[in-house]
Structures are given as C-alpha cells and as structure tokens.
Structure 1
Amino acid sequence: MLRVAFHHFHMLKLFLFICLTCWVRSDTEQKCEEFTDLSIHNALAGTDLKVKLLLYTRTNKNCSERLSAYNTTASTYLDVTRKIVFIVHGFRPTGSTPIWLNDIKDLLLSLEDVNLIIVDWNKGATTLIYPTAVQNTRKVAKILKKYIDQMLADGASLDSIYMIGVSIGAHLAGFVGEMYNGKLGRITGLDPAGPLFSGKPPNERLDHTDAQFVDVIHTDTDGLGYRNLLGNIDFYPNGGADQPGCPQTPFSGFQYFKCDHQRSVFLFLSSLKQSCNIITYPCDSYLDYKNGKCASCEAFQACPVLGYFADKWKNYLIQKDPPETKAYFDTSNQEPFCMYYYFVDFITWNKSIRRGFIRIKITDSAGNTTESKMNSEATTFQQYRQASIFVGFYEDFDKISRISLTYSTRTLIGPKYKLRILRMRLRSITNPERLQMCRYDFVLLENIETTFKPITCQERDK
C-alpha cells in the first residue's frame, strides 16, 4: 500500500513538472508578429491608422520581430551594420494580406543577408475611400522617419537603407526619402500609383531626387499606374500599359483591374529568382525600341537589367544630364517573363520595293519550336539593301536546327507577291557570342511558310 502511494506521489510530481514546464515555455516563447489581415468589412467601416514594423532576418526568417520606434537597440535581430530593406505595400481596398509578401521576404533573404522590414500599415490602407489612404501616406512616412532616426542613432547608415514601395507605397517611400534630402541609398517604385499623384510637383510624389538611386517599373500607365518619369531609370515593360496574360475585358472580374498593376511586383520577384535576366533597352520611345533602334546599349557598355540588380548601372544613370532614362522591353505572359532577342537581317533582290511582315519560327534539335514576337511594323525591303527586323522569342535555343519564315503583306485583295532573298542572317542580341546563322538565295511566297536548315554564316557576312 505504501509502495502504491509512493508511486502515485511520483506520478503527481511528474505531472506538475510537465505542467510547470509548459507554462514557463508558453510564457517565455517569442510571439511571432503577423501582418494585419483585415477584410472587406473593415474596408467598409474604415480603419484608424496604425503602423507595425515587422523585422525578418536570416536568423528569424519564419518568425518576425516587431520593432519599437523608441528603442531599436532592444531588438534581438536587428543588425544596423547590414543593409536595411523596407517593403511598403499600397492601397488595400479589401484588407487582405498582399499575396506576394511572403515571396518577396523569402527571396530577398535567400539572396542577401539583410534586415528585411515589412511596413504593415494595413490599418490605414484598408478603406474604400482611396483619398483617405493617400492622405495617410504622409502620416506613415513621418512614423517611419522616427524608426529610421533611431536606427541612425544606433549606428545605421543612410547609404544602406533601401525602400521598395508598391503603388501608393512607392510615393510613401519617396516622402521618406525627401525628409532625408535624397540621401537614402535606394528607392524602387513598383508601378507607382497614378490617381491623385499624376501632374503633381516632385515634392508631392516619388521623384528621382528622393534617394541616391531611384528605379521604377511602370506596368499600368493607362489605368492605376503613373505614366511619366519618376526615377533615374523608368522601365516600361510591353510599353508600360497592357501586360501579356492579363485579362482584356472587365468580364474577368477584379483581376482585370489589378493584373497589369500587380505585374510590376511579379517582374521584380522574377529578378530575385535569377532564373534569367530581364534585359531592357534605354530608348526614347516604345516604337523606336520595337523597330530595333536601341538594341546596342553601347553608351551603357551593357543593357540594364530589370529589378533588384538594376543598381549596377547606378553610377552611369545618376551622372546623366538630366539623370533620367526610359527603358523598354517586352515580356512573355508568365514567369520568368524573359524574352530572348535577335536581329534577322535580309538582303533582297526584288527590283520593286516591297513592304510587309515576316513571321519567324525557330526549332531546336529536340523539336521544340518558338515563334517571334514584337514585329508590329511593316518592313521595307529594297534591292540590295539590308533590312533588319528586331524580334524576341519566349524560349532560348542554344542550337537551332530549322528556321521557318512566312512573308505577308496582310492584304485581303490583290496579287500575291514574292520576296527574293539573297541572304538571311539570324544573330542573337541576348547572347552575341553565339554563331550567326544564315541562308542564301531563296524565295518567299506570300502567306506560304518556308522551312530550311540554316548554316553558319560565311566570314564576310558577319
């Protein structure tokens, strides 16, 4: 009997120990702060402005730490000797967490050992009254300055501060930069908002003077985005308006309104994944770019790339007069969005001038085929003069086994024409070190596809 009582006593001690351990662990265990997830009900009712700064590092990449504006030294993870990256979201009419937030956090931390801070101002951005959210951007900027001032006091450098702002968040980042007289290291604007910002003076929107380097991606210039130049380099994918793969009619629902606007974020994410470089072409206009007038990038030594690594061209861009550059490029309709560019050169021997379009398909040794894009302008073919067509393909073929060409005047009535080719040459702009491929002395019949095996160009043709 005594032995049984002794056994029960030990079992009771063990139970109390387990309970006590659990109680202590739950009391001391760090709380993971989450982004404020709201709903359409909050948007209807309106939200009072509240700002949280959620810090992630490689040490706590899955559990954010909330920073204090008054004592950043109390942070367990903040290292002010490293780069500090702020992610600033925009207007949230439904209150939901941005779908790209975790991706940008994970990708940035995998790429570089930084302090990544998500600026959560969802309470203040969640409203159906857009002007209210716009007004709040100034208030959030002042709050952010308090945090940054504290970081600077603790040893951080303005050079190391990088702000990535989305939509009205891009202008918000600009307001912060303005308060530091443009001495922040960098600001990236992802389709900065147009409504209530278009036509405003530089101190009322993002501007290239707001940081040491400002790069901007415009993807919805005919809708929610800002059309004109805002940075040291402004990228205009697909001309900056309609993005491939996005719905073209309102019947597609909410996606129609946000797809083009949101594409800027996914293009930036693609640059972090580094599956391919999105090459861009500084140019005066989208039409000049499509006509191949800006494909050399000689003044830049190499064509700028989009996204995170755009600052490699910083020194050249900020020294320009004025320090503003437009860059154009085209993308595919899905990740990783890259295009692979070629010039296709033709020398013809028709006595009469011919105008028309040439569709180009290339096939690799495995039978994969991709078709040229961007050839929207008719090409003029004159006897013994080279005509060059600038084209892009969605896929990159190292070894091309066949080329298919179709010539068309795109007229429904009238005679069909022939295009007599002395030489066709295919040369890669994306990979200029590749062998140039040629074909000599053949005829293209209008609207008839002609397929052939190319050969390496003769030395005199290169």
Structure 2
Amino acid sequence: MLLWQYLALLLLITVHTCKARTCDEFTDLHLSHAIIGTSLKIRLLLYTREDGNCGTLMSHTNLSAHPQFNLSRPTTFVIHGYRPTGSPPTWLNSIREQMLARKDINVIVVDWNHGATNMNYFKAVENTHKAADNLTGFIKIMQENGASLSSIHMIGISLGAHISGFVGANLNGLVGRITALDPAGPQFTGTPPEDRLDHTDAQFVDVLHTDIDALGFRETLGHIDFYANGGTDQPGCPKTILSGGAYFKCDHQRSVFLYLESINRTCASRAFPCSSNKEFLDGNCLNCEQFGAAGCPVFGYDITKWKDVLLKLGQTKTYFDTNSVSPFCMTPYRVEVMIWNKDLRWGFITVKLYSNGKEAVATIDHKASKFKRYTSTKLFAQFDRDIQSVEKVSLKFSTGNALSPKYKLRVLRIRLKHLEREERPLCRYDIILEENKEVAFRPVPCEESNF
C-alpha cells in the first residue's frame, strides 16, 4: 500500500473514531415522569480537564475502563437534590466548569434524577440511603485502586447534602470534606445524627443555610455553618406566590449560586461567628482575633484555609449578608456616631461612599438605632460594593415615622472603619442632619493615633 493511501486510511479511521465518541449527559426527565414516579438509578458522569465539556458515563465496578480517571488526582462528587419536575439543574454546567478551572481534579456528577424525580417527596427521601450505599460501594472500589479518602470532596445540594453525609458515615468519617449547600429540612429536622448529615461524617464539614424557614435545615450540622442573610429570605428572591415556582425555590437555590461565586473568586464574603442574626446585625460579633492573622472565615470553596482553627474551636455558627445579584459579597464597616442633641434620638442611617464616579450604599435599618448625647453609637454597615480611596461620604437620617415632626441629628463626630483593610479610619466633625435630607462631605483621616 502506498504511503499516501495508508495515511488516508489512518485519517479515515481517526475521523470515524472521533465521530463515534459521544458525550454522556445528565438525565433529562419531564413532569410526566414525576407524576408517575421514578425508581432509583445512579449514573456517574466523569469530567476532567482533558474533556471538561464532555461527560463520560462511568462503570461502577471497572475503573480500568476509564483511563482518564486518574486516581492520583483529588476527586469531587457533585450531588443534586430533589427534582420535582425532572429537569437537569440549571447550575450543573457552571459548577463543573468552575471546579475544573480552579484545580486539576476529577469531577463526578452524581446523576440520580431517576429516584429524585417524583411528585412524592417522601419517595425521594427514601432513595437517599440507597443512593448513598451505591456511592459508598463505588468509593470503596476507588480505595482498592489506590485512591485516598482524604482527597475526596463531596458537594451535596439539599437532599444531596444528606446523601453525602450517609456516604461519609458509611466510610467512618474518613472522607476529606463534605460541603452541604442548604441541606434539606423536611423529613430530616429533629432526626438523630445517623439519619442526616452530621459534622462527624467527614474530616471537615462546611454547611451553608439559605432557606431555614422552608426547604432547608435550621440547626447547625457542620464544623462551620454559614447563615447567609440570616439563613431565610434571600435578597432579590420573590416575596409572593404570584411569582410562581421561583417563590418556592429561589431562597433554596441561592446557596448554589453563592458557592459558585466563591469558586470563581468573583468576590469574598467574610462571615462573623455569632449566636444569632440579630446580634450579628447589631454589630456585636465583629471580633475576629480567635482566627489569628487570617481574620474571620471567608465563606465558600476556600474555607479550608481556616480548617485547623475551626477543628479546635468546635462547631462554629457564622453569619454574612449579601447583595441581591452577583457579585453577592458586601463590604463591612464599623460606623460610630456621636451626637450633641440634648434629647435622645431614635432612627436609621444611610451611608454612601464615593470614589472615581463609583458609589457604595449601606442602609442600617434592621432596627431603629439609639443616639444619645456625647455617647458613641456603634453601628454595623454593609456596603453593596467595595470603594477604594473614598473621596466623598453622604449621610441621611430618618425616623421612619412620616407623621411625627421632622427632627435634626446634630452629629459631633462620625467615624467609619473598614473591617477588612488595615487603613486609617475616616472621620467628619460637626454635621447637622435634617431628617430625610442627604448631606455630603469630604471625610478626613481620624485624629486619634490608635485605630
């Protein structure tokens, strides 16, 4: 055979082989499946940097059939939750792509849509233990082939969080990390640790709560539990049932989008250890000395930076607030106001920061603040964006009572301290705030030397 004929044949075989290579995708079911009900079927879809956009359906028993599955790399399992309509999760491609962009790992999407798709939620709950047993068997085969349990990270969403916990418990808590994104509450609240996710299920368990008053789990479950916006109503989510399905799932699903932002490092949300959301909003939990030079924990993918400290502290409950849209992270300041009014004043403060045409806003309105003559009122302000080199500040005072007389707040001093950057606080002296009227001024570095 002539050389050119041989090369042509080789090219033809290569093209045929490439065409034959198909990408396996997440099961796409429909509402009709949910109405009829589905039986449990586990499909494991492997993604690596070599074929990040093309899933490989894995054998549960023969790992040698997948040469791209390199067990010397860490492996992350992504486990979805209840699927009442059968459609694939909207965030699935994003989390897989962003995980691979951050680190050279194996990403295995656990597709248990057959089993999670059911109008009867209780049937889906029943399937969580069966799904966990299936995954446990697969991970044991990984172990036999040289994988280390400590290199395994399980990211579980809703029911998937408890599946992760059951797998971890089956493996005696030796899995490296479990990340639980708004673990499901119904049918798990009030149950003993063996019937739900628990902090003993992995070497490190981090948990995010976004819907504790409906679909999520209220109590702490991990070594560290984050409560975004108090763990209840997420900003930007619908407030009435007139919004349709989004009303039911938005708060619950926000947990995934917050976590995605931590993976791609869009911005960082500092979380503060506290006993309650009220104490957090009142600014009573801003001391981060127990965490050393790293400061208070930053929510999300990189929380393992604080792992050693958190394991020593025991279970830690933290709070942070977010914006209504991405970027979700807010910028924390301590604001101190001292007045010289003779009479006591109660009200709310809105602060705006300006620099290079950019504006950041913080409205401190979760409760009326008390302002007393010659007494420093300490407030916790969370700005919707970070402003570098503040050039101008504006203040607005409001009592929130449209029927009462208009009051003035005579500010002897206002002091603003950025809580994440070591920089000199900003001050302004002798300002008169007329109710509901914005007053702008150029701040100056505070006079005190010790800040």
Could you state the TM-score of these two structures normalised by the residue count of structure 1?
A: 0.92
2:68 maps to what in 1? 77
Instruction: State the distance in 2 between where 1:273 and 1:187 align.
Output: 19
The alpha-carbon distance between structure 1 residues 382 and 79, as it changes in their structure 2 partners (threshold 3 A), is: same
Deviation, 1:84, is: 0.9
* Alignment map for 1:383-394 (pairs within 5 Å): 383-394=373-384
1:7 maps to what in 2? none
SS in 2 for 1:102: helix
* Alignment map for 1:203-218 (pairs within 5 Å): 203-218=194-209
1:133 maps to what in 2? 124
2:397 maps to what in 1? 407
Instruction: State the distance in 2 between where 1:26 and 1:183 align.
Output: 41
Instruction: State the distance in 2 between where 1:39 and 1:364 align.
Output: 50
Instruction: State the distance in 2 between where 1:252 and 1:415 align.
Output: 39
- Of 222-231 and 449-458, more deviation after overlay is shown by 449-458
Instruction: State the distance in 2 between where 1:262 and 1:330 align.
Output: 16
2:228 maps to what in 1? 237
Percent identical pairs in the alignment equals 48
- Of 46-55 and 81-90, more deviation after overlay is shown by 46-55
Q: Which residue, 234, 246, 260 being the options, matches 1:269?
A: 260
Check conservation: 1:55, 1:116, Cα contact below 8 A: yes
1:10 maps to what in 2? none
Deviations 1:71-103 (Å, cap 9, x if unpaired)?
A: 213321111111110000111111111111110
1:458 partnered with 2:451: no
1:356 maps to what in 2? 347
Check conservation: 1:425, 1:438, Cα contact below 8 A: yes
Q: Which residue, 304, 314, 321 being the options, matches 1:311?
A: 304
Instruction: State the distance in 1 between where 2:65 and 2:145 align.
Output: 11
Check conservation: 1:375, 1:389, Cα contact below 8 A: no
- Of 73-82 and 171-180, more deviation after overlay is shown by 73-82
1:424 maps to what in 2? 414
Instruction: State the distance in 2 between where 1:65 and 1:401 align.
Output: 54
Deviation, 1:442, is: 2.2
Unaligned runs of 5+ in 2: none
SS in 2 for 1:98: coil
Check conservation: 1:73, 1:154, Cα contact below 8 A: no
Check conservation: 2:262, 2:301, Cα contact below 8 A: yes
Instruction: State the distance in 1 between where 2:129 and 2:122 align.
Output: 12
Check conservation: 2:359, 2:387, Cα contact below 8 A: no
Check conservation: 2:416, 2:426, Cα contact below 8 A: yes
The alpha-carbon distance between structure 1 residues 457 and 118, as it changes in their structure 2 partners (threshold 3 A), is: same
* Alignment map for 1:146-161 (pairs within 5 Å): 146-161=137-152
SS in 2 for 1:172: helix
Q: Which residue, 84, 101, 105 being the options, matches 1:110?
A: 101
2:437 maps to what in 1? 448
- Of 256-265 and 20-29, more deviation after overlay is shown by 20-29
SS in 1 for 2:212: coil
SS in 1 for 2:323: coil
Root-mean-square deviation (CA, aligned residues, Å) is: 2.1
* Alignment map for 1:33-432 (pairs within 5 Å): 33-301=24-292, 302-320=295-313, 323-366=314-357, 368-431=358-421
Q: Which amino acid aligns with 1:130?
A: Y
Could you state the TM-score of these two structures normalised by the residue count of structure 2?
A: 0.94
Check conservation: 1:177, 1:210, Cα contact below 8 A: yes
Instruction: State the distance in 2 between where 1:380 and 1:20 align.
Output: 79
Instruction: State the distance in 2 between where 1:413 and 1:260 align.
Output: 35
- Of 89-98 and 37-46, more deviation after overlay is shown by 37-46
How many residue pairs were aligned? Answer: 445
Deviation, 1:20, is: 10
**Larger of the two Rg values belongs to structure:** 1
Deviation, 1:19, is: 12
SS in 2 for 1:244: coil
